[in-house]
Amino acid sequence: MPLDYETLSKTITSLTEGETDAVALMATVACEVHHSDDRFDWTGFYRVTAPEILKIGPYQGGHGCLVIPFSRGVCGAAARSREAQLVADVDAFPGHIACASSTRSELVLPVFGAGGVLLGVFDIDSNQPDAFTQEDAQKLAEILASTFRDVT
């Protein structure tokens, strides 16, 4: 059954209305998205904490990597390019960082706050190959844009 993005968006909007704290928003989004679809094995944020550095933020699932430079992995590529990274087979992605050996595919979206400032990336891993679609990327990007647009 396809993910009901309309309901997911409405739920996240109702839970986060009026909130501008990035960590609180990240925690809520990670939880709601993680539990919305069985394809999502690990769901979380990596925050920009220094120039060209991402550090683990709120997440759901097993452990994640603590620090990821913009120069490495799928998360780094999303932060560096400021574009979504939809990876059907992580083993075929040059420089993939294996935080969990169960990950087979990955979707990473940049997260922007007020004024287009890069706050971090939203990372979703799946233990299934080719688990993500362009629709997933588009709909989740819309949810992130709406949720984080006022964060400074």
* Angle in degrees, CA 54, 58, 60, rounded to 5: 120
Q: How does residue 95 score in pLDDT terms, banded at 50, 70 and 90?
A: confident
The CATH number, out of the four listed (3.40.50.720, 2.40.30.10, 3.30.450.40, 1.10.10.10), of the domain defined by the range 5-148: 3.30.450.40
Instruction: Tell me: pLDDT of 126 over 80.
Output: yes
The three-state secondary structure class of 26 is helix
> What is the average pLDDT across 96-118?
91
Instruction: Tell me: pLDDT of 1 over 90.
Output: no
pLDDT of residue 96: 79
Instruction: Tell me: pLDDT of 98 over 90.
Output: no
Contact call for residues 100 and 62 (beta carbons, < 8 A): yes
pLDDT of residue 91: 87
> What is the average pLDDT across 133-149?
97
* pTM, entire model: 0.96
How many Å apart are CA 96 and CA 45, to the nearest integer? 17
85-87 and 67-69: which strand pairing?
A: unpaired
How many Å apart are CA 108 and CA 31, to the nearest integer? 16
The three-state secondary structure class of 48 is strand
How do residues 39-55 score in pLDDT, each as one tens digit?
999 999 999 999 999 99
Contact call for residues 58 and 26 (beta carbons, < 8 A): yes
Token pair, residue 146, equals: 């709406």
Instruction: Tell me: pLDDT of 69 over 90.
Output: yes
How many Å apart are CA 133 and CA 80, to the nearest integer? 22
